[in-house]
Every structure is written in C-alpha cells, then in structure tokens.
C-alpha cells in the first residue's frame, strides 16, 4: 500500500515517540530544540509528525534523549542478533514538499532497525535534485560513510567541496557542519552508514 508523506509519518509515529521521551525526561521543548540545534517551531512540527527529521537531527535526538536510533522505528524490544531486511520491509521517511521546504532535500529508508545493540546505522538515501534552496549545514557526533550508487552527489563544508560519482565513497567525521546534495538528471542515490558517537 502506498502512503502519502503525512500518512507515512503518522504511521511511523516518530514524532510522537520523540515527544513521549522528552516528556518522560521532563524536558521543555525549547530546551531540547536548543540541544539538537533546531528551532522550537521545527521541533514542534517534528513531534506533531508534520515534518520528518533529517538523519542528523534523528541522531542528535537519540544522543540527547539517551536511546538508540532504532527506538524511533520499532515498537517492541529489540532482541534479534541477526537481521534480514527484505526490500519490502524497509522503513521510509519522506520529505514533505508542503511543510519542509528548507530542511531536507532527501528521502531515506532504514535498512536495519531490529538488530540488538547494534552500533552502525545503515540507510538508503534518495536525493531530490530538483530542489533549489538555501540548505542548512548540519552536524552530529560520530562518523559517516557514503557510497554513491547513482547520479552525482556533492559534499560541502566551509572548506571543501567534493563531487561523488557512482562507485565513489566518502568517510568523514560528522561533527563538521556539512551539506550533502544531489544534482543533475535522475534521482541520485547512496548508501549511508552512520556510526554515532559512543555514549559517555
């Protein structure tokens, strides 16, 4: 069954889980927004499942709220030590053109979300190369690996611009504010593997 962006967000319920965790920890929305470097208005939209969180925001939320990223995708305790994810089992988070014009230029699918105590977070990312916008550099603690599957993808920091073509890979420390964007014809795609920083 195909879902609209809003229906998919409501079905996943990521925002509701964020809100529930925040209230359990007795954190004000403004305080959490400040710690993950987004505006209170944007966090409110994320918690209401109106706007999807970016991958960087999701990792920052997991770090501040002291959970694994998987917590936002699964409803039951994770007990598996081997995980097979069929193509029809991927969990998709899609950009909403109507409500998220400035924060997210890609859709992503969680490729693994049921493996007990895993450290790596793998995603399939599809970029929307038709969007012309002033993208906001984002950062999070840990490392990030990108393998370009299709199209052209550009990695941008204050000091460097790197063009990735199919077959190219990039590994970097993700605390450096960065932007990744797809451009050109078609739908640029990449596999991203994120390693969040170890909890202190």
pLDDT in tens, 125-165: 999 877 766 677 888 889 999 999 999 999 999 989 999 99
pLDDT of residue 104: 63
Confidence of residue 8 (pLDDT cuts 50, 70, 90): low
Residues in Cβ contact with 57 at an 8 Å cutoff, skipping those fewer than 6 apart: 36, 38, 46, 138
**Class of residue 132 by CB neighbours under 10 A (exposed 0-12, middle 13-18, buried 19+):** exposed
> Both tokens of residue 170?
């990039």
Over pLDDT 70: what percentage of the chain?
85
How much is the pLDDT for 149?
96
Tens of pLDDT, residue by residue over 63-119, are 999 988 888 887 766 667 888 899 988 888 887 655 544 456 788 999 998 888 888
Are 118 and 156 in contact, with CB atoms under 8 Å apart?
no
CA dist 95 and 99 (Å) reads 9
- pLDDT at position 13: 86
Q: Show the domains of the chain with their CATH numbers.
A: 5-196 (2.60.120.10)
Cβ neighbours around 17 below 10 Å, total = 20
Contacts of 40 (CB under 8 A, 6+ apart): 29, 30, 33
Q: Which residue has the tokens 């918690």?
A: 47
* Residue of 143, 139, 17, 141 whose CA lies nearest to 70: 17
The alpha carbon torsion through 158, 161, 166, 168 (nearest 10 deg) reads -80
Specify the DSSP class assigned to residue 156.
E
Most confident of 43-57, 109-123, 163-177: 163-177
């Amino acid at each position: 069954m195909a879902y609209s962006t809003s229906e998919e967000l409501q079905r996943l319920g990521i925002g509701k889980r964020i809100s529930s965790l925040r209230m359990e920890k007795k954190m004000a929305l403004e305080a959490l927004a400040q710690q993950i470097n987004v505006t209170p208005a944007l966090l409110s939209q994320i918690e209401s499942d109106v706007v999807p969180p970016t991958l960087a925001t999701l990792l920052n939320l997991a770090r501040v709220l002291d959970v694994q990223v998987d917590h936002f995708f699964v409803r039951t305790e994770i007990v598996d030590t081997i995980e097979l994810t069929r193509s029809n089992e991927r969990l998709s988070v899609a950009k909403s053109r109507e409500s998220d014009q400035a924060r997210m230029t890609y859709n992503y699918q969680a490729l693994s979300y049921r493996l007990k105590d895993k450290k790596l977070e793998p995603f399939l990312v599809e970029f929307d190369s038709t969007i012309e916008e002033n993208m906001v550099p984002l950062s999070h603690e840990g490392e990030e690996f990108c393998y370009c599957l299709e199209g052209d993808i550009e990695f941008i920091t204050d000091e460097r611009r790197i063009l990735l073509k199919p077959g190219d890979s990039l590994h970097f420390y993700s605390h450096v504010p960065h932007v990744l964007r797809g451009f050109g014809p078609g739908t640029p795609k990449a596999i991203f593997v994120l390693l969040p920083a170890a909890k202190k």
